[in-house]
Structure 1
Amino acid sequence: MVGGDGAPHPGREFDAEPAPCYLDEDGPPPDTWPDQPPPLAPPRNLPGPAVPGGWWARADRAVDDAGQVLLALERALGHARRLVATAERADTADETTWATGPAGRVSAAPDALTALAAATDQARADLADLLGRTAGGGLADRPRLALTDTLTGALLALTDLPALHRAADAGTGLAPPGASPGYRPTAGLDRYVRARDRRCRFPGCRHPVPRRGELDHHTPWPAGPTAVGNLAGYCAGHHRGRHQAPGWPHTVAPDGTLTVTTPSGLTATTTPPPY
């Protein structure tokens, strides 16, 4: 975020556009990985990312790829479990024939399946650790339920199943999160504004709102609250232009509608994209 004086807020990091991530096709096949991973090369020996912050974008992409591989492995394990269950039923039906015939060669399959499942559990734990370290990949957050207006598609609330149950038990409705007491938005408020805007709100810009930054206070804090009606998401360039380019006033309505006036007096309006 940027404070009212136009300078970046202390301690805030800004992510940039994701850099491409490439898989190493020359590495060893999955069944020949060494017992220990090779040591990481010093940063100076690594090709630099195309833009600042690109390493985290590439790390997020790699973790997402690992999640897809793990999902495929889970499906393969499910198929193997079904085949083993079929073999065990056949074995029970005809113990002697199954054990002495050609099919007896698969008698070690249950033990092998158990060992493979244990290895998958460890892989799942390792992936969870990576997700916790990247802190921002799509899989690092619980699935959310978006409540929208049927006619306009506007986002009304962002919740999850436990919160939905709590609201039902308490007899309360769902609404956008309340204001944050400080400069930084709460996790729920940050999540809601990013889900509402999704991309830079400057007219014509299609860049995504980076993680951990670029939510702008229309009325600078503390004069303006850290609240839904006073926050809008921008890409890094337009966020700085919002504060540093003279003659470009921005106006944000309580529903998130943004109006930008050019130095020549022309106006352009954007609204949060409908769901």
Structure 2
Amino acid sequence: MATLLNHPLNEAAPTSPAKENVVEIRGLKKAFNGFEVLKNINVDLKRGENLVVLGKSGQGKSVTIKCIVGLLKKDEGSVKVFDEEVSDLNDEELKQLRTRIGFLFQNSALYDSMTVRENLSFPLTRVLKLKDETEINSRIEEVLEGVGLLDAIDKMPSDLSGGMRKRIGLARTLIMKPEIMLYDEPTTGLDPITSKEISQLILEMQKKYKTSSIIITHDMPCAQITADRIVVMNDGEYIAEGTYKELETSDNELVKAFFN
């Protein structure tokens, strides 16, 4: 049964003792130029689950995940990742935390002047400081095989389709072996067939790498394919939580709008 969160207090839903929370957010508020984008966010991400944040464009869905990795600073509340308050971390500690978190941007953020191989080796040599060419090439080939693009290893990003660039962006993130994956509108700009392929790939990567993921989207087929649990965002707050099937039968008009 879907849970309608107490609006406007937006109380946190009870957490299951069976699974550890890798992210815990309580009372998160964030404003820009006096406009309150996040009003009172409470949410947990459990180890091994795919959590979809569903909401219309311009609702501030991406602001939450940027607070999780410290790209944005909270105004109020608590953001804990692996039991550590993100705002308490110094620069070196924050850098270490980010090595455990993968962030797939909307545009894939590939380096246009580098081949696929060079794009994937970059975080290994610059962040992890790996020097063994055999290990580097082995890890590159492993992730490329995982996303079905081993034959693109020496291509330039300009030679790839939008869907292929998304896959390479995902491979570059997974090569760091993150424990948490953050997907920011992973199917934006893709045709329906490619969007479905990317959504299914997200599901496959969850099973293969045992990642815990937050997927920001307003793409309902993506939500249906990937979500273990969904929270619905409206006007800076989470107003409902449940599985896709539970929310599909919700009586809340704001929730029903996404499924009609």
- Shorter-chain TM range is under 0.3
TM-score by length of 1: 0.26
Which structure dedicates a bigger proportion of its chain to strand? 2
TM-score by length of 2: 0.28
Which structure dedicates a bigger proportion of its chain to helix? 1
